[in-house]
Protein backbone atom coordinates (compact mmCIF):
# COMPACT_ATOMS: atom_id res chain seq x y z
CA UNK A 1 0.00 0.00 0.00
CA UNK A 2 1.36 3.37 -0.90
CA UNK A 3 2.56 5.79 1.74
CA UNK A 4 0.50 8.51 0.06
CA UNK A 5 -2.73 6.77 1.13
CA UNK A 6 -3.61 7.49 4.75
CA UNK A 7 -3.91 4.52 7.11
CA UNK A 8 -7.56 5.36 7.69
CA UNK A 9 -8.39 5.44 3.98
CA UNK A 10 -6.33 2.28 3.37
CA UNK A 11 -8.26 0.37 6.03
CA UNK A 12 -11.61 1.53 4.60
CA UNK A 13 -10.49 0.32 1.14
CA UNK A 14 -9.25 -2.99 2.59
CA UNK A 15 -12.68 -3.47 4.24
CA UNK A 16 -14.30 -3.52 0.76
CA UNK A 17 -12.36 -6.80 0.32
CA UNK A 18 -11.91 -6.43 -3.41
CA UNK A 19 -9.00 -8.52 -4.66
CA UNK A 20 -7.91 -6.64 -7.78
CA UNK A 21 -4.99 -9.01 -8.36
CA UNK A 22 -7.40 -11.96 -8.60
CA UNK A 23 -9.54 -10.38 -11.35
CA UNK A 24 -9.28 -11.57 -14.93
CA UNK A 25 -7.34 -8.98 -16.88
CA UNK A 26 -6.23 -8.61 -20.46
CA UNK A 27 -3.18 -6.93 -21.93
CA UNK A 28 -3.76 -4.15 -24.46
CA UNK A 29 -1.47 -4.60 -27.46
CA UNK A 30 -2.75 -1.80 -29.72
CA UNK A 31 -3.65 1.80 -28.87
CA UNK A 32 -7.43 2.25 -28.98
CA UNK A 33 -7.05 5.64 -30.68
CA UNK A 34 -4.25 5.28 -33.26
CA UNK A 35 -3.42 1.57 -33.28
CA UNK A 36 0.15 2.25 -32.12
CA UNK A 37 1.97 -0.42 -30.14
CA UNK A 38 4.76 1.47 -28.35
CA UNK A 39 3.69 2.49 -24.85
CA UNK A 40 5.26 4.35 -21.94
CA UNK A 41 4.48 3.18 -18.40
CA UNK A 42 3.28 6.19 -16.38
CA UNK A 43 2.44 4.53 -13.07
CA UNK A 44 2.41 1.12 -11.42
CA UNK A 45 -0.42 1.74 -8.99
CA UNK A 46 -3.71 3.62 -8.75
CA UNK A 47 -5.24 5.92 -6.14
CA UNK A 48 -6.68 2.99 -4.15
CA UNK A 49 -3.24 1.36 -3.91
CA UNK A 50 -4.04 -1.43 -6.37
CA UNK A 51 -1.27 -2.65 -8.66
CA UNK A 52 -2.68 -1.06 -11.81
CA UNK A 53 -0.42 0.22 -14.57
CA UNK A 54 -1.37 3.19 -16.70
CA UNK A 55 0.36 3.41 -20.08
CA UNK A 56 0.57 6.24 -22.59
CA UNK A 57 0.73 5.62 -26.32
CA UNK A 58 4.05 6.96 -27.58
CA UNK A 59 2.45 7.90 -30.91
CA UNK A 60 -0.73 9.78 -29.95
CA UNK A 61 -0.53 10.35 -26.19
CA UNK A 62 -3.64 8.35 -25.22
CA UNK A 63 -3.42 7.12 -21.60
CA UNK A 64 -5.08 3.87 -20.50
CA UNK A 65 -4.90 1.05 -17.97
CA UNK A 66 -2.79 -1.84 -19.19
CA UNK A 67 -3.57 -4.59 -18.51
CA UNK A 68 -7.15 -3.93 -17.58
CA UNK A 69 -10.04 -6.06 -16.33
CA UNK A 70 -12.10 -7.95 -18.89
CA UNK A 71 -15.71 -6.94 -19.65
CA UNK A 72 -16.93 -9.76 -17.37
CA UNK A 73 -14.72 -8.61 -14.52
CA UNK A 74 -15.89 -5.01 -14.97
CA UNK A 75 -19.49 -6.26 -15.03
CA UNK A 76 -18.97 -7.83 -11.58
CA UNK A 77 -17.12 -4.71 -10.43
CA UNK A 78 -20.08 -2.45 -11.28
CA UNK A 79 -22.60 -4.85 -9.78
CA UNK A 80 -21.14 -4.84 -6.31
CA UNK A 81 -17.79 -3.15 -5.85
CA UNK A 82 -17.66 0.21 -7.60
CA UNK A 83 -19.85 2.37 -5.32
CA UNK A 84 -18.61 0.78 -2.04
CA UNK A 85 -15.02 1.29 -3.22
CA UNK A 86 -15.59 4.94 -4.13
CA UNK A 87 -17.40 5.41 -0.80
CA UNK A 88 -14.43 3.90 1.05
CA UNK A 89 -12.06 6.18 -0.82
CA UNK A 90 -14.00 9.33 0.05
CA UNK A 91 -15.03 8.21 3.53
CA UNK A 92 -18.75 8.80 2.97
CA UNK A 93 -21.61 6.79 1.60
CA UNK A 94 -22.00 7.14 -2.17
CA UNK A 95 -24.71 4.97 -3.73
CA UNK A 96 -27.62 4.99 -6.14
CA UNK A 97 -29.57 7.25 -3.76
CA UNK A 98 -26.96 9.66 -2.48
CA UNK A 99 -25.56 10.52 -5.92
CA UNK A 100 -28.88 11.81 -7.21
CA UNK A 101 -28.63 15.31 -5.71
CA UNK A 102 -25.21 15.73 -7.29
CA UNK A 103 -26.54 14.38 -10.60
CA UNK A 104 -29.44 16.87 -10.50
CA UNK A 105 -27.05 19.81 -10.18
CA UNK A 106 -24.99 18.40 -13.02
CA UNK A 107 -28.12 17.92 -15.19
CA UNK A 108 -29.26 21.50 -14.71
CA UNK A 109 -25.83 22.91 -15.47
CA UNK A 110 -25.24 20.76 -18.56
CA UNK A 111 -28.79 21.33 -19.86
CA UNK A 112 -27.97 25.02 -20.02
CA UNK A 113 -24.88 24.20 -22.08
CA UNK A 114 -26.52 21.79 -24.55
CA UNK A 115 -29.97 23.48 -24.61
CA UNK A 116 -29.38 25.82 -27.56
CA UNK A 117 -28.54 22.79 -29.72
CA UNK A 118 -31.56 20.74 -28.63
CA UNK A 119 -34.39 23.18 -29.08
CA UNK A 120 -36.25 23.64 -32.34
CA UNK A 121 -34.55 20.84 -34.25
CA UNK A 122 -37.43 18.36 -34.12
CA UNK A 123 -35.31 15.97 -32.06
CA UNK A 124 -37.43 13.32 -30.31
CA UNK A 125 -35.44 10.42 -28.92
CA UNK A 126 -32.39 10.27 -26.65
CA UNK A 127 -30.05 7.53 -25.48
CA UNK A 128 -28.05 8.10 -22.28
CA UNK A 129 -25.00 5.81 -22.33
CA UNK A 130 -23.90 5.00 -18.76
CA UNK A 131 -26.99 6.88 -17.61
CA UNK A 132 -26.78 5.67 -14.01
CA UNK A 133 -29.92 6.53 -12.00
CA UNK A 134 -31.54 8.40 -14.89
CA UNK A 135 -31.50 11.78 -13.16
CA UNK A 136 -29.72 13.46 -16.07
CA UNK A 137 -31.77 11.69 -18.78
CA UNK A 138 -34.98 12.52 -16.91
CA UNK A 139 -34.07 16.20 -16.66
CA UNK A 140 -33.06 16.44 -20.32
CA UNK A 141 -36.17 14.50 -21.42
CA UNK A 142 -38.47 16.83 -19.49
CA UNK A 143 -36.63 20.01 -20.41
CA UNK A 144 -36.38 19.29 -24.13
CA UNK A 145 -39.39 17.04 -24.75
CA UNK A 146 -37.33 13.93 -25.52
CA UNK A 147 -38.19 10.26 -25.07
CA UNK A 148 -35.29 8.94 -23.00
CA UNK A 149 -33.56 5.56 -22.84
CA UNK A 150 -30.83 4.74 -20.32
CA UNK A 151 -28.23 2.00 -20.73
CA UNK A 152 -26.05 1.24 -17.70
CA UNK A 153 -24.36 -1.90 -16.32
CA UNK A 154 -25.36 -1.29 -12.65
CA UNK A 155 -28.76 -2.94 -11.91
CA UNK A 156 -29.50 -0.85 -8.79
CA UNK A 157 -29.01 2.37 -10.71
CA UNK A 158 -31.05 1.17 -13.70
CA UNK A 159 -33.85 0.36 -11.26
CA UNK A 160 -33.82 4.00 -10.14
CA UNK A 161 -33.89 5.14 -13.77
CA UNK A 162 -36.95 2.99 -14.43
CA UNK A 163 -38.80 4.84 -11.68
CA UNK A 164 -38.43 8.03 -13.71
CA UNK A 165 -40.43 6.40 -16.52
CA UNK A 166 -37.38 6.06 -18.75
CA UNK A 167 -36.80 3.06 -21.02
CA UNK A 168 -33.88 1.13 -19.56
CA UNK A 169 -31.28 -1.38 -20.69
CA UNK A 170 -29.08 -3.13 -18.11
CA UNK A 171 -25.77 -3.80 -19.79
CA UNK A 172 -22.66 -2.42 -21.45
CA UNK A 173 -23.07 -0.37 -24.61
CA UNK A 174 -20.08 -2.24 -26.04
CA UNK A 175 -22.10 -5.47 -25.94
CA UNK A 176 -25.75 -4.51 -26.40
CA UNK A 177 -27.30 -5.14 -29.82
CA UNK A 178 -29.36 -2.09 -30.85
CA UNK A 179 -30.26 -3.61 -34.21
CA UNK A 180 -31.40 -0.89 -36.62
CA UNK A 181 -32.50 1.46 -33.82
CA UNK A 182 -31.45 5.11 -34.00
CA UNK A 183 -31.63 8.01 -31.51
CA UNK A 184 -31.77 11.73 -32.30
CA UNK A 185 -29.60 12.58 -29.32
CA UNK A 186 -26.93 10.51 -27.56
CA UNK A 187 -25.45 11.69 -24.27
CA UNK A 188 -22.40 10.17 -22.55
CA UNK A 189 -22.14 11.95 -19.19
CA UNK A 190 -19.13 11.36 -16.90
CA UNK A 191 -18.91 7.94 -18.50
CA UNK A 192 -16.51 7.85 -21.43
CA UNK A 193 -13.47 7.25 -19.21
CA UNK A 194 -15.30 4.14 -17.87
CA UNK A 195 -15.76 2.56 -21.32
CA UNK A 196 -13.68 -0.42 -22.42
CA UNK A 197 -13.52 0.55 -26.10
CA UNK A 198 -13.88 4.30 -26.63
CA UNK A 199 -13.22 4.08 -30.39
CA UNK A 200 -15.72 1.24 -30.82
CA UNK A 201 -18.42 3.02 -28.82
CA UNK A 202 -18.00 6.27 -30.76
CA UNK A 203 -18.25 4.36 -34.05
CA UNK A 204 -21.38 2.70 -32.70
CA UNK A 205 -22.82 6.05 -31.58
CA UNK A 206 -22.15 7.44 -35.04
CA UNK A 207 -24.29 4.61 -36.46
CA UNK A 208 -27.00 5.24 -33.84
CA UNK A 209 -27.33 8.91 -34.86
CA UNK A 210 -29.14 10.23 -37.92
CA UNK A 211 -27.40 12.99 -39.92
CA UNK A 212 -29.22 15.71 -37.93
CA UNK A 213 -28.45 13.99 -34.59
CA UNK A 214 -26.42 15.36 -31.71
CA UNK A 215 -23.83 13.85 -29.40
CA UNK A 216 -23.00 15.30 -25.99
CA UNK A 217 -20.14 13.93 -23.90
CA UNK A 218 -17.66 15.03 -21.29
CA UNK A 219 -14.28 13.90 -20.05
CA UNK A 220 -12.16 14.22 -16.94
CA UNK A 221 -9.16 16.07 -18.32
CA UNK A 222 -6.29 13.79 -17.27
CA UNK A 223 -3.77 16.62 -17.27
CA UNK A 224 -5.93 18.68 -14.92
CA UNK A 225 -6.54 15.58 -12.79
CA UNK A 226 -2.90 14.74 -12.16
CA UNK A 227 -1.95 18.35 -11.59
CA UNK A 228 -4.75 18.68 -9.04
CA UNK A 229 -3.07 16.23 -6.65
CA UNK A 230 0.35 16.76 -8.22
CA UNK A 231 0.50 12.99 -8.73
CA UNK A 232 -0.14 10.70 -11.68
CA UNK A 233 -0.88 7.82 -9.27
CA UNK A 234 -3.68 9.75 -7.57
CA UNK A 235 -5.28 10.54 -10.95
CA UNK A 236 -5.41 6.87 -11.96
CA UNK A 237 -8.18 4.55 -10.70
CA UNK A 238 -9.24 1.10 -11.79
CA UNK A 239 -12.75 2.42 -12.55
CA UNK A 240 -11.30 4.46 -15.44
CA UNK A 241 -9.78 2.28 -18.19
CA UNK A 242 -9.12 5.54 -20.16
CA UNK A 243 -7.60 8.95 -19.29
CA UNK A 244 -8.46 11.55 -21.90
CA UNK A 245 -7.28 15.05 -22.64
CA UNK A 246 -8.73 17.62 -25.02
CA UNK A 247 -6.22 16.53 -27.67
CA UNK A 248 -7.00 12.83 -27.52
CA UNK A 249 -10.77 13.36 -27.18
CA UNK A 250 -10.96 15.63 -30.22
CA UNK A 251 -8.81 13.18 -32.19
CA UNK A 252 -11.23 10.38 -31.22
CA UNK A 253 -14.27 12.43 -32.25
CA UNK A 254 -12.87 13.40 -35.63
CA UNK A 255 -11.75 9.88 -36.30
CA UNK A 256 -15.27 8.59 -35.53
CA UNK A 257 -16.80 11.11 -37.95
CA UNK A 258 -17.93 13.93 -35.65
CA UNK A 259 -17.55 17.71 -35.81
CA UNK A 260 -17.24 19.49 -32.47
CA UNK A 261 -19.79 22.34 -32.35
CA UNK A 262 -18.85 23.62 -28.90
CA UNK A 263 -16.44 22.70 -26.11
CA UNK A 264 -16.64 23.93 -22.55
CA UNK A 265 -14.36 23.69 -19.52
CA UNK A 266 -16.39 23.19 -16.34
CA UNK A 267 -16.03 25.49 -13.34
CA UNK A 268 -14.06 22.76 -11.56
CA UNK A 269 -11.38 23.04 -14.30
CA UNK A 270 -11.44 19.22 -14.35
CA UNK A 271 -14.23 18.29 -16.78
CA UNK A 272 -14.44 19.31 -20.45
CA UNK A 273 -17.76 18.96 -22.33
CA UNK A 274 -18.37 18.64 -26.07
CA UNK A 275 -21.44 19.01 -28.27
CA UNK A 276 -20.91 17.27 -31.60
CA UNK A 277 -22.79 16.40 -34.75
CA UNK A 278 -22.04 13.86 -37.47
CA UNK A 279 -19.49 15.32 -39.86
CA UNK A 280 -20.80 16.33 -43.28
CA UNK A 281 -18.72 13.60 -44.79
CA UNK A 282 -19.89 10.44 -43.04
CA UNK A 283 -16.65 8.68 -43.84
CA UNK A 284 -14.51 8.57 -40.72
CA UNK A 285 -10.87 9.46 -41.22
CA UNK A 286 -8.47 6.55 -41.13
CA UNK A 287 -5.65 8.33 -39.33
CA UNK A 288 -5.66 10.65 -36.31
CA UNK A 289 -6.28 14.18 -37.61
CA UNK A 290 -3.98 17.13 -37.16
CA UNK A 291 -5.11 19.03 -34.10
CA UNK A 292 -2.00 21.04 -33.40
CA UNK A 293 -3.60 24.45 -33.44
CA UNK A 294 -6.57 23.60 -31.27
CA UNK A 295 -6.55 23.84 -27.50
CA UNK A 296 -9.69 24.28 -25.44
CA UNK A 297 -8.18 23.60 -22.09
CA UNK A 298 -5.37 25.88 -20.93
CA UNK A 299 -3.04 24.07 -18.55
CA UNK A 300 -4.10 24.54 -14.91
CA UNK A 301 -1.89 26.90 -12.98
CA UNK A 302 0.71 25.18 -10.87
CA UNK A 303 0.12 27.54 -7.98
CA UNK A 304 -3.57 26.66 -7.88
CA UNK A 305 -3.21 22.95 -8.41
CA UNK A 306 -0.49 22.10 -5.95
CA UNK A 307 -1.83 20.97 -2.58
CA UNK A 308 -0.78 23.05 0.41
CA UNK A 309 2.22 21.97 2.43
CA UNK A 310 5.30 19.95 1.57
CA UNK A 311 5.12 16.32 0.48
CA UNK A 312 4.71 14.09 3.51
CA UNK A 313 6.80 11.19 2.27
CA UNK A 314 9.55 10.31 -0.09
CA UNK A 315 6.95 8.56 -2.24
CA UNK A 316 4.86 11.69 -2.62
CA UNK A 317 8.01 13.68 -3.21
CA UNK A 318 8.79 11.35 -6.08
CA UNK A 319 5.25 11.81 -7.34
CA UNK A 320 5.73 15.56 -7.23
CA UNK A 321 8.92 15.38 -9.20
CA UNK A 322 7.29 13.03 -11.66
CA UNK A 323 4.32 15.33 -12.15
CA UNK A 324 6.66 18.25 -12.45
CA UNK A 325 8.50 16.58 -15.31
CA UNK A 326 5.26 15.86 -17.08
CA UNK A 327 4.13 19.42 -16.50
CA UNK A 328 7.30 20.71 -18.11
CA UNK A 329 6.62 18.59 -21.14
CA UNK A 330 2.93 19.24 -21.43
CA UNK A 331 3.73 22.22 -23.61
CA UNK A 332 5.28 19.85 -26.12
CA UNK A 333 2.01 17.96 -26.37
CA UNK A 334 0.42 20.98 -28.00
CA UNK A 335 1.98 19.87 -31.25
CA UNK A 336 0.83 16.75 -32.99
CA UNK A 337 1.57 14.04 -32.32
CA UNK A 338 1.30 14.83 -28.59
CA UNK A 339 3.03 11.51 -28.01
CA UNK A 340 6.33 13.30 -28.38
CA UNK A 341 5.73 14.49 -24.83
CA UNK A 342 5.50 10.94 -23.55
CA UNK A 343 8.51 9.89 -25.58
CA UNK A 344 10.55 12.51 -23.81
CA UNK A 345 9.19 11.31 -20.51
CA UNK A 346 10.17 7.78 -21.45
CA UNK A 347 13.76 8.74 -22.03
CA UNK A 348 13.92 10.68 -18.79
CA UNK A 349 12.41 7.82 -16.80
CA UNK A 350 14.95 5.38 -18.23
CA UNK A 351 17.70 7.76 -17.25
CA UNK A 352 16.38 8.20 -13.71
ZN1 LIG B 1 -2.06 5.96 -29.92
Cα(331) to centroid(ligand 1), Å: 18
Predicted confidence at residue 282, as pLDDT, reads 55
Cα(38) to centroid(ligand 1), Å: 8
Nearest partner of 266 among 228, 319, 310, judged by Cα? 228
Cα(339) to centroid(ligand 1), Å: 8
Cα(30) to centroid(ligand 1), Å: 8
Predicted confidence at residue 205, as pLDDT, reads 95
Superfamily of domain 99-278: Vaccinia Virus protein VP39 (3.40.50.150)
Predicted confidence at residue 290, as pLDDT, reads 36
Cα(55) to centroid(ligand 1), Å: 10
Cα(332) to centroid(ligand 1), Å: 16
Cα(139) to centroid(ligand 1), Å: 36
Cα(39) to centroid(ligand 1), Å: 8
Q: How far is CA 278 from CA 129, 214, 347, in A?
A: 17, 7, 39
Cα(11) to centroid(ligand 1), Å: 37
SS3 of the chain: helix, strand, coil, percent, to 5: 40, 15, 40
Cα(235) to centroid(ligand 1), Å: 20
Predicted confidence at residue 233, as pLDDT, reads 92
b or e along 230-251 (b: 16 or more beta carbons within 10 Å of the residue's beta carbon)? Answer: bbbbbbbbbbbbbbbbbbbbbb
Cα(35) to centroid(ligand 1), Å: 6
Predicted confidence at residue 339, as pLDDT, reads 38
Cα dihedral: 78, 79, 82, 84 (round 10): 170
Cα(229) to centroid(ligand 1), Å: 25
Cα(205) to centroid(ligand 1), Å: 21
Cα(236) to centroid(ligand 1), Å: 18
Cα(344) to centroid(ligand 1), Å: 15
- The predicted model scores a pTM of 0.77
Nearest partner of 342 among 195, 253, 222, judged by Cα? 222
Cα(16) to centroid(ligand 1), Å: 34
pLDDT tens digits, the chain, 352 residues: what are they? 444 688 999 999 999 999 999 999 999 999 999 999 999 999 999 999 999 999 999 999 999 999 999 989 998 898 889 889 999 999 988 877 787 888 888 889 899 999 999 887 789 999 999 998 899 999 999 999 999 999 998 888 899 899 999 999 998 887 899 999 999 999 999 999 999 999 999 999 999 999 999 999 999 999 999 998 889 999 999 999 999 999 999 999 999 999 999 999 988 889 999 999 999 865 444 444 433 333 333 333 433 333 333 333 444 433 333 333 333 333 333 332 333 344 333 333 333 3
Domain layout of the chain by residue ranges: 99-278
Predicted confidence at residue 132, as pLDDT, reads 85
Predicted confidence at residue 157, as pLDDT, reads 84
Cα(284) to centroid(ligand 1), Å: 17
Amino acid sequence: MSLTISAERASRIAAVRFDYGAQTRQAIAACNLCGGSRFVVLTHRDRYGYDAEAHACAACGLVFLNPRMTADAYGRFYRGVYRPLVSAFHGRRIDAHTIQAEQRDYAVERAAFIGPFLTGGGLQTMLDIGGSTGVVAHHFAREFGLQGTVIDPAPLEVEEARRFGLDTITGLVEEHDFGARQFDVVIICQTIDHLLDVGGVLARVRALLPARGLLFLDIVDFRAAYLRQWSVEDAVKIDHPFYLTDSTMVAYLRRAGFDVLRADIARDRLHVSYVCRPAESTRATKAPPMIAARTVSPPPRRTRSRPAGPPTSSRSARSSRSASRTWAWSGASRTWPPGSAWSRRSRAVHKA
